[in-house]
Amino acid sequence: MAADSARLVLVVWWLTCLLWSSVWLAIKVGVGDVPPATFASVRLVIAVTVLLPIMAVRGVPLPRTRRDWQLVGATGVLLLGLNYAFLYWGAQYVTSGLSAVLQAVTPAFGLLFGRVLRGDERFTAWQLAGLLVGVAGVAVIFADQLHVTGGAALWGCLAVTASAVCVALGYVIVKRHGTHLSPIQLTTSQMMVGLVPLLALALTFEGNPLAARWTPRAIAALLYLALAGSVTAFWLNYWLLKRIGATRVLVMSLVEPLIAVVLGAVVLHEALPPGTLLGGAGILASTWILLAPRASAPAA
């Protein structure tokens, strides 16, 4: 039974990773026509509009205690407010490859926060080496894009890195304090909170969202992101977080760039980077090391 449960977790992990990897294509298509904060905030509006009726039909309440709202407030701002704001803004000034490499260090931040805040995110030297191999694999794939030119690009790098910090911190906090809440409670309430700063940014700096250039392809990308990315992937993420540690969930950020470049080649007919095979092998080896069961330490 335990083996079956472990296999199910692994299947869900890879399914969630595939969903997160595919959202990069939709973001790339969407922000080509619609300003980033506007696009991200409307994505959350649609997701919340879908999730609230589902909660009502299933009889699942929103969080009720002040402590729970403090939790979803803090993590909602981190994961859906600051994370999206930093990432979408920074992506305008750095290459997608450099963004992928910077995001790939998210598990390292998760390990650090897990160690400081929870005290049980213990990795062996072998697993730390696996993490470095994964980051190196991402760097190999995007080797031709690892350059920074000008002050704006430097600020863009800092913004994307700040996004990774927000994600890691948010997941570790949820793992420590929020596992008593159901995935749909966490997902919906965090989106409601994270929507507030995003929408404020959109209205302040980008104008009326309804006046944006909502082309058919932008709308299609938006719906995919809202339903597959925000509703489904977030729910699966929290399902996983109840069963494995925050750092192991965050390992997805190592695999997502590999799947994203393959999807880009298949769907958008983009050329595969020369280092895809070598870098991909490193990423897959890293994933196997980091997800392998450990007998001597708690799940990380």
- In angstroms, rounded to a whole number, what is the distance separating the alpha carbons of residues 146 and 140? 10
Please report the pLDDT score of residue 173 as a whole number: 92
Task: Give whole-number Cα distances, 284 to 109, 128, 275, 277, 280, in Å.
Answer: 20, 15, 14, 11, 6
Please report the pLDDT score of residue 51 as a whole number: 94
Q: Are 137 and 254 in contact (CB under 8 A)?
A: yes
- Those residues with Cβ within 8 angstroms of residue 249's Cβ, 6 or more apart along the chain or in another chain: 13, 171, 237, 240, 241
pLDDT, one tens digit per residue, over 229-255 is 889 998 999 999 888 888 888 889 888
Please report the pLDDT score of residue 189 as a whole number: 93
With the C-alpha atoms ordered 102, 103, 107, 113, is the resulting torsion angle positive or negative? positive
Please report the pLDDT score of residue 300 as a whole number: 44
Query: What are the residue ranges in the chain where pLDDT is below 50?
Result: 1, 295-300
Q: Which of 16, 21, 15 is nearest to 262 (CA)?
A: 21
- pTM of the entire predicted model: 0.80
Q: Which of 12, 7, 32, 82 is nearest to 219 (CA)?
A: 32
Please report the pLDDT score of residue 299 as a whole number: 44
Task: Give whole-number Cα distances, 206 to 100, 153, 199, 210, 216, in Å.
Answer: 26, 21, 10, 11, 20
Q: Is 14 left (phi over 0), alpha (psi -120 to 50) or beta?
A: alpha
* Residue tagged 């196997």 (tokens): 288
- In angstroms, rounded to a whole number, what is the distance separating the alpha carbons of residues 228 and 125? 36
Q: Are 191 and 79 in contact (CB under 8 A)?
A: no
Please report the pLDDT score of residue 122 as a whole number: 63
pLDDT, one tens digit per residue, over 214-226 is 999 999 999 999 9
Please report the pLDDT score of residue 54 as a whole number: 93
Please report the pLDDT score of residue 101 as a whole number: 81
* Residue tagged 């005290």 (tokens): 119
